[in-house]
Amino acid sequence: MTQSRFAPRVFSGIKPSGGLTLGNYLGAIRRFVEVQDEGRFETIYCVVDLHAITVWQDPAELRAATREVAAGFLAAGIDPERSILFNQSQVSAHAELGWIFNCVARMGWMGRMTQWKDKAGKNAEAQSLGLFAYPSLMAADILLYHATHVPVGEDQKQHVELTRDIAAKFNHDYGVDFFPLPEPVIEGPAMRVMNLRDGTKKMSKSGESDMERINLTDDADTIARKFQKARTDAAPLPETVAGLEGRPEAKNLVEIYAGLAGITPQAVLDRHGGQGWGAFKPALAELAVETLSPISAEMARLVADPAEIDRLLARGAERARAIAQPILERTFEIVGMIRS
């Protein structure tokens, strides 16, 4: 089977650990909606709750976070009829294929993963085995659906490359052309939204201060206050993008504006170059509120009806299993497992 014979299919997911941020929206969810609406791919989106428990999660908070991420997908425009939306743990084939890939992947591959090094730090011996091996589960998430494309941020590209390595090794070891080699899709402005208090760090759901990030659940006043207090330097906005070099906080705010407006950073500077932050920050806050308020309101409505979210996730899981199970069964057959 050649790569061109795989149906064009997208898989991507978001981990339910902490609330959704502006970074999740600009860096992932909005692009997911665009891919869905373009109609060139079958789209499968997942709340990856099995990945969340690689570090301790309070069970009640995990359930709430899973529903909140699902609500974020739906509120931003994911249509549960045109796309498949589900939570990972409802499709046990993810864990089953993940085990097979644990037996294909090499320890050295896992040890070289940048995110493992960052998360484990100097305390690697105390981390869970799941955290070390989670890129293998991520490969299973993708390949379980024979996904051909994976929308990711630049910092996740290494995981897609590892997925390709696992697929290639499986195919080679068993003398088959069964799994595709998926391509990372890295597109669009503001793919990597940075911390509002430190422009050298990524905006994170788990940052120390809530002032570091814009949450999708923030109200208009909170958004305005956070942008007003965002760290900047003393110089005004430059006239060209080159003038943002060495100014990480200024670059971040310009790129956030560009991402929200759907224009280039240079187009932002064409409008606002030479302005001081006292003029630019309110304009940025107004744009953010205009963009995010409808999403926040719809998220609040959805979260208030958890039974409806659960129903939609269950329906999505049923559709996901219909694709995943035959691929898993064929994998077992290739490996040599007896299935009665």
β-bridge mates for residue 21, sequence order: 215
Q: Crossing angle, helix 59-76 and helix 277-303, to 10 degrees?
A: 110
Query: Hunting for tokens 């963009």 — which residue is that?
Result: 291
Query: Hunting for tokens 């305390």 — which residue is that?
Result: 123
Is 204 labelled as part of a ligand binding site? yes
Give 140's contacts (C-beta < 8 A, 6+ positions apart). 94, 95, 97, 98, 100, 101
Q: How many CB atoms lie within 10 A of CB 143?
A: 24
Q: What share of the chain is helix, strand, coil (3-state, %, to 5)?
A: 60, 10, 35
Q: Is 202 helix (H, G, I), strand (E, B) or coil?
A: strand
Is 15 labelled as part of a ligand binding site? yes
Is 202 one of the annotated active-site residues of the chain? yes
Q: What are phi and psi of 215, to 5 degrees?
A: -85, 145
Torsion angle (degrees, nearest 10) of CA 273, 231, 235, 286:
30
The one-letter code for the residue type at 338 is I
Is 281 one of the annotated active-site residues of the chain? no
Is 155 labelled as part of a ligand binding site? yes
Q: Which of 157, 169, 201, 202 is catalytic?
A: 202
Is 119 one of the annotated active-site residues of the chain? yes
Q: Which of 117, 119, 122, 201 is catalytic?
A: 119
Torsion angle (degrees, nearest 10) of CA 266, 270, 273, 275:
-130
Is 8 labelled as part of a ligand binding site? no
Task: Give the ranges where 46-192 is alpha helix by DSSP (H).
Answer: 49-52, 59-76, 93-102, 107-111, 114-120, 129-143, 157-174
Q: Is 54 helix (H, G, I), strand (E, B) or coil?
A: coil
Is 17 labelled as part of a ligand binding site? yes
Give 291's contacts (C-beta < 8 A, 6+ positions apart). 260
Is 202 labelled as part of a ligand binding site? yes
Is 193 labelled as part of a ligand binding site? yes
Q: Which of 122, 157, 205, 281 is catalytic?
A: 205
Is 49 labelled as part of a ligand binding site? no
> Could you give the CA distance from residue 72 to residue 78 in angstroms, rounded to a whole number?
9
Is 251 labelled as part of a ligand binding site? no
Half-sphere exposure for 187 (CA within 13 Å, toward CB): 13
Is 173 labelled as part of a ligand binding site? no
Is 205 labelled as part of a ligand binding site? yes
Residue 42: its H or E element: strand 42-47
Annotated binding site for L-tryptophan: 141
Per the annotation, binding residues are 15-17, 23-24, 141, 153-155, 193, 202-206
Residue stretches of the annotated binding site for ATP: 15-17, 23-24, 153-155, 193, 202-206
List the catalytic residues.
119, 202, 205
